[in-house]
Structure formats: structure tokens, C-alpha cells
Amino acid sequence: METRNTIQKQTILQAVKELANHPTAEQVYEKVVVKLPNISRATVYRNLSNMADRGLLQRIGVPGGADHYDHTLQVHYHVLCTHCGALEDIWLEKPAKNLMELANEKSTFSIQSYQLVFNGVCPCCEAKQRKENPIQ
Amino acid sequence: METRNTIQKQTILQAVKELANHPTAEQVYEKVVVKLPNISRATVYRNLSNMADRGLLQRIGVPGGADHYDHTLQVHYHVLCTHCGALEDIWLEKPAKNLMELANEKSTFSIQSYQLVFNGVCPCCEAKQRKENPIQ
DNA sequence: GTGGCTGCAAAATGTTTGCACGGAT
DNA sequence: ATCCGTGCAAACATTTTGCAGCCAC
């Protein structure tokens, strides 16, 4: 039950912190494999998942795509660029409590959490779009 | 570009309406294959996805799980039972506009939509839990 | 020394795609 | 007659799992 302090775990956690920008398991693997050439993807997946369950990381579930991981533990939200897949933070104060309360009032389920991802277009992709199709 | 009226499409749409309870593509397939024994899963996936894109159905993206489809077109939300996977409606009026506005104010992305799924325990599973572990 | 953790390969899951054929228009 | 939609199989993406050996404790 207690957790052993392996080099793999340390390196994975460090990688998420250094990458900062909500890496996927694959991106973490690519960063970690430089330092530990023999590490397996399974180890990366296992550890990221464990750490998220223990609250050392936040898991960002993206419907239809790979999970991302966030070293920031404070409650906040994310936008996904529908063009390039970039994922960015959004800091909102209000919805956190409201949503849970509202939902619990209206549902027979006892609601414990929720997953919210916004979809949009990042400034970079918006600029490209405008260049290709200046009308509209 | 215009859409042909095949038996497959008709049957798939009808199946989603009859199943009502937010079926996955696989569940739709199982319902449809009874009437059309030669239909392919690919056809079901393709048509569900197309119909969602055209606004004939709503796609409910569930992180880490299969997409569900909803024949109801009005804006509403969903809870997923973390025990049995049951998916149920939640009807909230307020958040719809608020969330989009708030997020757009706080982000450099131009946000067009969002995906929100609540996680909880359904009454049925809650009862089971209580039976197995009456303490707490 | 023990048993949790790792690496590997294989499997599982959900979905998409290339292609030849058939049917709706 | 066109050419979109279908069925099939294979590919794809992401994640999980079984198992033998290893290493942190």
C-alpha cells in the first residue's frame, strides 16, 4: 500500500512539472525516455494514473483523445484547440461550486465531480484561418 | 454533399430514438443488427458521427470511454455513474450561457462549445454499496 | 528476503480508413 | 449513369494487463 520511491516515478513527476503544458502520457514518455532509455510506456501510464488517483497530479480527460496531465493542483479549467490540439488553462472562480450544487439538486445521482473541457480555436490557428480565407 | 436516404441511416436514427437512454455506438449496433443482419459497425459509427455533425443527434463525449448519443437536441447535461456506467440526464438552465461567456472573457482562445460530464453514483449502486458496507 | 514495481509483449477498447461493390438518385 | 454509402478487413490510438525478474525497503 505504501509507495516505493523508484527512479521512474521521480523522473515522471519531474517531467510533468518541467513540461508544464499539460502533456499526454506519450509526451511524458518521450521526455522521460531520454533520461531512462529502458523505461516502458506501461510504467509511464501506470505512474501517471496512480499519481492522479493520489492527488499528486490532475488528470484532464479529453473525450476522443488522450488524457493530459497537469502538475497544477488548484481547480481550474482547460480549452482545447479544435485545429491543433493545443490545451490551455482557463481560470474561472465561480462555476466550481455552483455546478456541483446545481447538478446535485437536479439529479438523483450523488455527484462527486465533473469533467469540463472547452473547445475553441487558439489565436495562432485563428490567424492562419484568416490568412487562408480572408472573407467572412 | 446532399445526403442519401439509405435504410441503414433510417434504422440507426430510429434505434437511437427507441433506445432513448444515450446508447453508445456499440449499443446502437446491437439494436440495428437485429433488423439489418449484414450491417457493419463502420456504418453505424460513420452515420452516428455524421448525424451528430449535422445536428440530428447530440454526441456525448465521455473521457476514457465510448461516446454516447442522445436523440434529444435541447441543451442539457449528463451524469455518469462511476460504478455501473449508467448515463442520465441533468437539466440545468443557468450554466449554458454563463460558462461560455466566462470562459471567453478569461481565455485568448475563441471558445465555441464545451463538453461537460458529471461523475457520481446512481441510486441503485449507492444502495448496493450501503448493503455491502453499512458503516459510514 | 519480500513483495511492490518494472519491462515486455500481447490484448483490449473504441474508432477510423482504404477499397471495391452496390444501390439511391 | 453517376457517385455516395456500404461492408469488410485492416489499421489506428490509447490504455490495460499478465507475467517473469528485479530492486527498494
A58-72 pLDDT, tens digit each? 999 999 999 999 999
Determine contact, residues B60/B117, Cβ cutoff 8 Å.
yes
First to last CA, chain A: 59
- Residue that finishes a domain, picked among A73, A97, A116: A73
Question: Which three-class secondary structure string do you get for B41-91?
Answer: HHHHHHHHHHHHHHCCCEEECCCCCCCEEECCCCCCEEEEECCCCCEEEEC
Please report residues of B whose CB lies closer than 8 A to that of A81. Answer: 109
Pairing of strands B77-81, A77-81: unpaired
Q: What single letter denotes the amino acid at residue B58?
A: Q
The answer on B80 and B67 residing in a single domain is no
Domain that holds residue A31: 1-73
Share of chain A above pLDDT 90, in %: 78
The answer on A97 and A135 residing in a single domain is yes
Q: What is the pLDDT of residue A95?
A: 67
B82-113 pLDDT, tens digit each? 988 999 999 987 666 688 888 999 999 999 99
Q: Which nucleotides of D are covered by protein (CB under 7 A)?
A: 4-10, 13-18, 23-25
Q: What is the pLDDT of residue B48?
A: 98
Q: Count of CB atoms within 10 A of residue A108's CB?
A: 13
- Residue that finishes a domain, picked among A43, A73, A103: A73
Mean pLDDT for the stretch of residues B29-51: 98
Pairing of strands A68-70, A77-81: unpaired
Q: What is the pLDDT of residue B93?
A: 79
Q: What is the pLDDT of residue B96?
A: 60
Of B102, B117, B121, the CB nearest to A92: B102
Q: What's the whole-number average pLDDT of chain B?
A: 92
All three cell numbers of A124, joined, read 495562432
Would you place residue A20 in the very low, low, confident or very high pLDDT band (cuts 50, 70, 90)?
Answer: confident
The answer on A107 and A61 residing in a single domain is no
Maximum Cα interatomic distance, chain B, rounded to a whole number of Å: 61
Domain tally, chain A: 2
What's the pTM value of the predicted model, to 2 decimals?
A: 0.92
CB-based contact B119 A114, cutoff 8 Å: yes
Protein residue at shortest CA distance from C1' of C6: A43
Beta bridge partners of A120: A81, B111
Q: What is the pLDDT of residue A128?
A: 84
CB-based contact B113 A118, cutoff 8 Å: yes
